[in-house]
Amino acid sequence: MNSARFWIGIILLFAPMGSALAEAGFAAVTVKPGENGEQTWSLSLQALVLMTALTLLPAFLLMMTSFTRITIVLGILRTAIGTAQTPSNQILLGLSLFLTIFVMQPVFEKVYDSAIGPYLDEELSVTEALQKASEPLTDFMLLQTREDDLKLFLNLSGSDELDSHSDVDFFVLIPAFVTSELKTAFQIGFMLFIPFLIIDLVVASVLMSMGMMMLSPLIISLPFKLMLFVLVDGWTLVLGTLAGSFYLS
């Protein structure tokens, strides 16, 4: 009963304020035309767009950056070594995230210099800033996308032949880029799998010749695979190769 009275009192307290705001016509969302035809969004609408963009940030990170290739290769590497959950998923994702930031830093700097910085200085409108921000990302994705994958999605979308890659629609480029990244990641993973597979085959053959068929080859081969990976400085080679596999110019 006391809680019901409390909420009724709160409603009665704020009811006059709500009617006053309604009478004043509080404009939460407004779009004003500019001098050159551009549109200026109100602060409330800009905050709404920002919060919506934050919900799409995981998809943006996965689909439009180097994160996909890196995390898939690291996952295949862990499977090839045979260490099950070591390193853990959290470590692999964290390593993939920071390596992605390292690889994408030149692109992010271009986005900031051409779009975010001028927008914060009120030199660009929201629509102009979004257009400027998409250009460095488009250039990066085009450099990593295979021609065959791009042509496939252009044909599926019904688009005609383009005079320039800069004319590619953003929502056609993204699936083509992701397809190319998946293909490249599996190619790198295949190359990583070969030396560890050879060790497994050698150990299995030796155990078979010794009549130790009941002993799991994984128990014997795992120390040898770890020793090989450490002796060749495997993490440096893998991470360096991954970072160098992206074309940024």
- Which residues, 6+ apart, have CB-to-CB distance to 124 below 8 Å? 115, 118, 132
Which pLDDT does position 49 carry in this prediction? 65
Kindly state the average pLDDT of the residues 36-44. 53
pTM: 0.72
Residue 91 has pLDDT above 60, yes or no: yes
SS3 86: coil
Distances in Å between the alpha carbon of 146 and those of 98, 100, 168?
25, 20, 13
- Residue 46: which pLDDT band, with cuts at 50, 70 and 90? low
Check if the beta carbon of residue 182 is closer than 8 Å to that of residue 72. yes
Read off the DSSP letter of residue 82.
T
Query: What CA–CA distance (Å, rounded) separates 234 from 170?
Result: 37
